[in-house]
Amino acid sequence: MADEIKTETLLGSVDTAPVKTENDGTKADAKPDEKKPDAVDAMKAPETKPDAKPEEKKGDAKPDEKKPEEKKEDEKKVVVPDKYEFKAPDGVAIDTAALEKASPVFKELGLSQESAQKLMDLQFQMIKEQNDAYQKQVTDWQTEIKKDPKYKETLASAKRAVNVLADAETAKLITDSWMGNHPGIVKFLSKVGSLVKDDNLDEGSGSAAGGPKTLESVLFADMFNK
């Protein structure tokens, strides 16, 4: 019986089958078209090509594939209240008429109570900044007027013009608004008041012996006297 042939391969020793012989003891002739497989080749696995993956188009997302942050957003449920209840800073009154117009818009946008309150807080802050800027402007105007050594006389003359020539509605508009603090308007009214004084008008009457006077008749006396 022929001895077994051991061959060293990359994977270790491999036992190969003994070579068959004829009855007369001579080796069998190998057929010309047959080739004895090498031991290393026998151990190699047949080569297989990986299946080609279908070409994926960019931008095509799998229907069940979501980013972690998107999943978290889905888990959060936004509760839109039936009625919004807002908190205003101390000393600030909420305009209910404006709120009635804004609430449907908040609901349409799907805002929660917390999100809507943030918008209101921003609005309150903007209003406060506008009021602070206005108050500073008024203070600066008053400071500028008081720089005039004769500012008390200037104010008295301006008040005379308002009391004599302005009706109640106009007088209220001037004294209660920014116009009563603007240096240019105060100086203008002061000059008008000096003309009224020179014309001997009675304060608060709006008339003189010659008949009712108007602002136009005082400022443009030459035109009215023609």
pLDDT digits (tens, 9 = 90+) for 77-94: 889 999 999 999 988 888
Give the model confidence (pLDDT) of 106-124 as tens digits.
999 999 999 999 999 999 9
Q: Residue range 93-113: average pLDDT?
A: 93
Q: Are residues 156 and 213 in the same domain?
A: yes
Identify whether residues 121 and 155 lie together within a single domain: no
- pLDDT (0 to 100) of residue 196: 82
Residue with the two structure tokens 């010659």: 210
> What's the Cα-to-Cα distance from 16 to each of 2, 8, 32, 41, 175, rounded to whole Å?
11, 11, 22, 12, 119
DSSP-derived letter for residue 208 is: E
Q: Are residues 199 and 167 in the same domain?
A: yes
166 and 200 housed in the same domain: yes
The pair of three-digit structure tokens given for residue 50, joined into one six-digit string: 């990986």
Tell me if 58 is assigned to some domain. Answer: no
Residues 38 and 106 in one domain: no
* Angstrom distance (rounded) from CA 163 to CA 176: 14
Flag whether pLDDT at 156 surpasses 80: yes
pLDDT at 49 (0 to 100): 61
How many independent structural domains does the chain possess?
3
Domain hosting residue 134, numbered range: 96-138
Residues making up the chain, counted from first to last:
226
Q: What CA–CA distance (Å, rounded) separates 109 from 116?
A: 10
pLDDT winner (highest mean) among 56-60, 71-75, 133-137, 192-196: 133-137
Q: Is residue 101's pLDDT more than 90?
A: yes
Confidence band (pLDDT; 50, 70, 90) for 59? low
210, pLDDT greater than 90: no
Task: Say if residue 100's pLDDT is above 80.
Answer: yes
In a domain, 76, yes or no: no
Backbone φ, ψ for residue 150 (5° rounding):
-105, 30
**111 vs 79: CA distance, rounded Å:** 8
Is 49 within the bounds of a domain? Answer: no
Residue 133 and residue 185 in one domain = no
Please check whether residues 191 and 221 belong to one and the same domain.
Answer: yes
pLDDT at residue 175, rounded to an integer: 87
pLDDT score at 223: 44
Inside any domain, residue 84 = no
Residue 162 within any structural domain of the chain: yes
Is it the case that residue 153 has pLDDT exceeding 90? yes
102 with 153, same domain: the answer is: no
Asked if residue 181 is part of any domain, the answer here is yes
Most confident residue range from 32-36, 66-70, 141-145, 204-208: 141-145
> How far is residue 218's CA from residue 212's CA, in Å, rounded to a whole number?
11
Spatial distance between the Cα atoms of 11 and 25, rounded to a whole number of angstroms: 34
Residue 86: the pLDDT is 93
The tokens for 226 are: 């023609």
